[in-house]
Amino acid sequence: MGLGRVFRVSIFGESHGVGVGALVEGVPPGIPLDEGYIQSELDRRRPGGRLATPRREEDRVEVLSGLFRGFTTGAPIALFIRNRDVDSSFYERIRFTPRPGHADYPAWERYLGYQDYRGGGIFSGRRTAALVAAGAVARRILEYSWGVFIAGLVKEIGGVKCDAEVEPSPGFRDRVYSSPVRCPEPRSEKLMIEAVERAREEGDSLGSIVEVVAFNVPPGLGDPPLDGVDSDLAKAVMSIPAAKGFELGEGFRLARMRGSEAVDPLVPGAEGRPVFASNKHGGILGGLTTGAPIVVRVAFKPPSTIRKPVKTVDLRTLKEVELVGGGRHDPVIGTRALPVVESVVAIVLADHALRSLSQRAPRVEDRRPWAGGELP
């Protein structure tokens, strides 16, 4: 899998293989970055507490190339995360009975039965650890070179909403990640925890919605019509396992508005640029960033492996059988997916920010159409 054209990310590995990793190319030299920064982002993805999978991976990142004495060198950055807490016994038992809701059956057809079926193989959420590691590199570039800050929260779990708004501060982000359901508002957090625990006790799981906001993104990033920031975000987000819905700004709610309600007026702003009085468009118009915060929401389906029996088919006999979920799984995906969504948003924005540098002369202001006093 690959994301980006200038800032390019490829990931590799399987859930129960030796490990997972990422190759990050197109990184400029001289960006302050070390293994500790990447590890701090990976730590946000690790499971913990009673609301997460009992699988306990250390997720210790190994930087194999591209960093030296605390700075990027300009060479490709190779990142590797070893799998250490692996138990494949359940998957050996169900090898020929594909799990409904997972990619087991289409993978059987696509790879002629040769795929690594343990833990879902390349389709497992385990591979998102590599995306988070690569996203840490992208985040650092955006922070250092453009002052972009990315944060998010779990907006909804099983219909219970988090009554908090994303704030552009490291302190807010720390509060989010101190919550087991990634919601910093105490009342909502309590209701969400109760909903997850109730579903788990019943042998079931819950769907969720993640919201991520990128602040201080410069206007004019994007390569429309086919490589707009919004279309690239959609591709990146939908590459996350279990993602089933994507929206920007008010998203699907715009379909229920009138034009007079949906429009975001432009008003005079600082630094010689107009600004939008509201942000229903979510920071992107025509595939280009507008300078307003980029607001992304992603809907994740409930985890498909549950303790309730479900019907499937034995691929050897084509007879119907009943399957009860085993292995180690989260009861809700959004709490683990939040740092992954933040990471893919960072990867896309870093790619487009670096692309923009090749399209601007050293004194781009002198090339604006009104620089000579008249519009063409």
Q: Each residue of 211-246: pLDDT tens digit?
A: 999 999 999 999 999 999 999 999 999 999 999 999
Note the pLDDT of residue 242.
Answer: 95
For residue 33, count CB atoms less than 10 angstroms from its CB and return exposed for 0-12, middle for 13-18, buried for 19 or more: buried
Contacts of range 68-71, beta carbons closer than 8 Å, 24 or more positions apart: 70/32, 70/33, 70/34, 71/29, 71/30, 71/31, 71/32, 71/33
C-alpha triplet 369, 371, 375: angle, nearest 5°: 40
What is the chain's mean pLDDT, rounded?
Answer: 92
Sign of CA dihedral 66, 72, 76, 82: positive
Residue 1 has pLDDT above 60, yes or no: no
Note the pLDDT of residue 273.
Answer: 86
How far, in Å, CA of 7 to CA of 141, rounded?
10
Note the pLDDT of residue 361.
Answer: 59
Residue 50: which pLDDT band, with cuts at 50, 70 and 90? low
Note the pLDDT of residue 22.
Answer: 98
CATH numbers and ranges of domains, the chain: 2-360 (3.60.150.10)
Q: Which H or E element spans position 11? A: strand 8-13
Residue 154 has pLDDT above 80, yes or no: yes
Note the pLDDT of residue 52.
Answer: 64
Note the pLDDT of residue 183.
Answer: 98
Q: Could you write out the DSSP letters of every residue in 173-187?
A: HHHHHHSTTS---HH
Strands 8-13 and 19-25: antiparallel
How far, in Å, CA of 5 to CA of 207, rounded?
33
Note the pLDDT of residue 54.
Answer: 62
Residues paired with 227 in a beta bridge = 223
The structure's pTM equals 0.93
Residues paired with 21 in a beta bridge = 12, 80
Segment 249-274 mean pLDDT: 93
How far, in Å, CA of 364 to CA of 220, rounded?
13
